[in-house]
């Protein structure tokens, strides 16, 4: 299931990050800011436990998050969203998945994976600015499950119906959170209107 984060502040920042004239420095800043907003909503139902905190006046009954949060960026563009989550949840642990698309089979191939043991029993958040065809996202979910993860969600900035449909067909229990659900993919498998190549725009590697 995909959930659109339609908050006015998110949509305002989305308008700026989409703009082709937005440079890589501002693009990175906006990716961090938008990610923080999306994750704020995505984590609203994580389990909590009651704790007693002594204030200067009296004891207060409070709540703290009662699950390990594990953030898993898909290399390389997903790293551009990492700071946003870590600002929101500084104690989160981080795993990594590196994938590339085989030019012959057009299927994602894993070249790197590293997960903390807390993915078992914790809450795992896969991050990638663009959920386009969905192939890389499904491959990342597969890897997490193979390593013992059970509670997984996906946070992206922009997605499209094709990517959502693939994830839902393979992993229907995984929730997707996005700032935009765009129209479709073009012949080059870019989201339309999308952001362009998010990795290039994050790191200034485009022409």
| DSSP-derived secondary structure for 95-127 | -EEEEEE-TTT--EEEEEEE--GGGTTSEEEEE
**207 pLDDT higher than 70:** no
Local confidence band at 108 (pLDDT 50, 70, 90 cut-offs): confident
> Rounded mean pLDDT of 117-130?
96
pLDDT cut 70: percent of the chain above it? 98
CATH numbers and ranges of domains, the chain: 2-203 (3.40.50.2020)
Local confidence band at 107 (pLDDT 50, 70, 90 cut-offs): confident
pLDDT of residue 109: 87
pLDDT of residue 105: 72
Digit-coded pLDDT (tens) for 65-94: 999 999 999 998 999 999 999 999 999 999
> Rounded mean pLDDT of 116-128?
96
Residue corresponding to tokens 């500084």:
90
pLDDT cut 90: percent of the chain above it? 87
Residue corresponding to tokens 């979910």:
141
Which residues does 28 contact at the CB level (< 8 Å), separation at least 6?
80, 202
**pTM: predicted TM-score of the whole model, two decimal places:** 0.93
pLDDT of residue 37: 96
Q: Kindly list the catalytic residues.
A: 101, 105, 197, 200
> Rounded mean pLDDT of 6-18?
96
């Amino acid at each position: 299931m995909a959930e659109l984060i339609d908050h006015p502040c998110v949509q305002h920042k989305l308008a700026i990050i989409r703009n082709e004239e937005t440079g890589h420095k501002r693009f990175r800043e906006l990716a961090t800011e938008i990610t923080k907003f999306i994750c704020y909503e995505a984590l609203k139902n994580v389990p909590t436990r009651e704790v007693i905190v002594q204030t200067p006046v009296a004891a207060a009954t409070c709540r703290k998050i009662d699950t390990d949060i594990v953030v898993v960026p898909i290399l390389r563009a997903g790293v551009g969203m990492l700071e946003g989550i870590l600002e929101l949840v500084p104690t989160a642990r981080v795993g990594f998945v590196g994938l590339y698309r085989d030019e012959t089979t057009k299927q994602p191939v894993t070249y790197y994976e590293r997960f903390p043991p807390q993915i078992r029993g914790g809450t795992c958040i896969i991050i990638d600015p663009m959920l386009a065809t969905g192939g890389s996202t499904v491959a990342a979910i597969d890897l997490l499950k193979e390593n013992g993860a059970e509670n997984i969600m996906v946070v992206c900035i922009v997605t499209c119906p094709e990517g959502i449909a693939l994830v839902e067909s393979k992993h229907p229990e995984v929730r997707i959170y996005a700032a935009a659900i765009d129209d479709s993919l073009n012949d080059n498998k870019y989201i339309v209107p999308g952001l362009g190549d998010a990795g290039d725009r994050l790191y200034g590697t485009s022409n």
